[in-house]
């Protein structure tokens, strides 16, 4: 299996622009998680899905952030409009129903908002 795939790997954008991050979970996995990693706050869970349905989005920082999972093999995290404080590494992870807690992480998207 190719593992969790994320794109782009790096994104540089200007403040106010829309940013879309993409994730392909491991095939057959039932859960998908979006995390954000910053120096100040460490690794934070933003939102997670079960069978394409958002279960807990309490970690989403504000309305500028939105996430979707239109099917079992694809999810997006969108920031609109982006701000410099959104600069971070965004990780996607997936897991199986039988062992939801064991999460497999993608390579991350390093986002820089100027």
Q: Which tokens hold the place of 65? A: 């952030």
Binding site for other proteins (CB under 8 A): 31, 33, 42-45, 48, 50, 55-56, 58, 91, 93, 95, 100-108
| Least Cβ distance, residue 26 to other proteins (angstroms) | 13
Comparison of 38 and 80: residue with beta carbon closer to other proteins: 38
| Least Cβ distance, residue 86 to other proteins (angstroms) | 19
11: Cα separation from own chain's centroid: 14
Comparison of 82 and 103: residue with beta carbon closer to other proteins: 103
| Least Cβ distance, residue 78 to other proteins (angstroms) | 21
Comparison of 43 and 114: residue with beta carbon closer to other proteins: 43
- Strand 42-50 and strand 99-105: the pairing is unpaired
């Amino acid at each position: 299996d190719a593992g969790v795939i994320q794109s782009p790997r790096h994104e540089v954008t200007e403040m106010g622009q829309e940013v879309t991050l993409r994730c392909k979970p491991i095939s057959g996995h039932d859960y998908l998680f979006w995390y954000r990693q910053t120096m100040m706050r460490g690794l934070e869970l933003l939102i997670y899905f079960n069978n394409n349905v958002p279960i807990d989005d309490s970690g989403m920082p504000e309305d500028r952030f939105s996430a979707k999972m239109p099917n079992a093999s694809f999810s997006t995290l969108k920031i609109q409009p982006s701000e410099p404080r959104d600069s971070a590494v965004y990780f996607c992870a997936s897991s199986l129903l039988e062992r939801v807690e064991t999460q497999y992480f993608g390579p991350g998207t390093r986002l820089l908002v100027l």
